[in-house]
Chains A and B, each alone.
Chain A
Amino acid sequence: MRHITEISSKVEPVTFVEDELELSFRYWYGEHYGRFYAELRDNRRILGMRCEKCGSVLLPPRPYCGFCHAPLRTWVELSDKGAVDTFSIVHTPNAKELIETPYACAMIKLDGCDVPLYHLLGEVEFKDILTGMRVTAVWEEVRKGALRDIRYFRPSEQRSIRSD
């Protein structure tokens, strides 16, 4: 105890250690994601996979079915139109300021697909967004093989229909 007093009376403890870390990651898409993103980038086509066992049409394209775990082999082209399953107006900035806040995001069920896709909503007033609203993809001119090659989904021309 005496030692602690002796030393601490002379020096002011350092309270924090600070550090910085810069990390670079490279994820390889592999065959399935690779084909999906190549089609998205080069042909503005959204490809999903159909399970021959349970009939589900799935995104993201993977070599197995997320519902029944059967191997998947059949590619299907999906529509770039769909309906809003659920949505949120986000005010919290994200980690890398990739998207300016506030923004609208949604889970969108593309026509013919059984699982919704997370994406952004644009060209719409926040107050006009409804569950069940029909939306269409707006594509980026310059595409690099990522989900954000779709800039966002905007309301379709037709009148929106509520899901209930």
Chain B
Amino acid sequence: MSDQCNPQSCGCGSSRASQDGDGDTQRRQFLKFGFASFAAMAGAVGFHSFEAKAQSKKGDAKGETCGGPTPALSTSGKLIDPITGKEIEKEPHYHSHAGNKAVREGIPNRKWVMVIDLAECDGCEKCTSSCSKAHNTPPERQWIRVFKMSGTAEKKPYWFPKPCFQCDDPPCTRVCPVDATFKRQDGIVLIDNERCIGCRFCMAACPYSTRYFNWGPVKNVVEAGYTPEKSTPRKMGTVEKCDFCPDMLREGKLPHCATACTMGAIMFGDANEDAVTDAKGRTYRLSKLLAEKGGYRYLEELGTKPSVYYLPAKNPTYDPPKIDESEIKEVAMNFGFAKENSNV
């Protein structure tokens, strides 16, 4: 993330205005979940204060922000304690046990969004491999999966990376019988694998087929320090999926897929700030970008309100995917990839 959209740069209260600008969904969501009072409180709390809270791990955010000194921002973009003059250390290893309030509520005053420019994606799958590496996923599992979209005679084929859409009205969290998967106020949908009972109702409910189940024994690199924000270590018999890397976000970094995208096709940012940044360090105004390039959300008509936007594959900068015509059978107007399920 570049400096101008660095989470630290928005101090107390400064982001309240921008939230009103683009925070329609968020506002509704607050009201819906009865978080209105929390929102008012959170509006006064910057990201840094949360870090302070995470470090001390006690007390409520409000008391700590307004009570303590307001950190200053150095020219190099580091947070400085105005009294001691020392750099405020970022939490090196954010850790919380399941059920931790902060994990369930999310990063205050944020509304994380992803924008994927289909005209830039060349299908290299670096996003997938970097995500898989970071999350130690088994070989076949791809939290962000790149689809070959064929289109029709009128529409050129194109690449379509699909992470979890982190819907603002998620069908998955609604059906969870034990609140193991939940929607946070910063827009992220997470899973607590210490709570999950493995009924897989969320998988059935997700119209985007974005969730994965640990069908058998799992191999973890590290066995300790689980938090839903890291989604690892994974556990047998529980569900997992793309989590928008909240552990990276807490450190002010982009998610792994966005960092790995050499084309700069994956942009990530905060809708409250109305800004998204790509791996090349370019920052765009979200509303302008979506308006100018005709941004859309996939299957928006389902009413799930995804947090992932796509920019259409107009004048692509890459070679379109090659489609083996003999393997596919056109069935409908948009995607022609439904093979006949003759031998399943």
Q: Are A and B interaction partners?
A: no
Residues of B with Cβ closer than 8 Å to A? none
Residues of A with Cβ closer than 8 Å to B? none
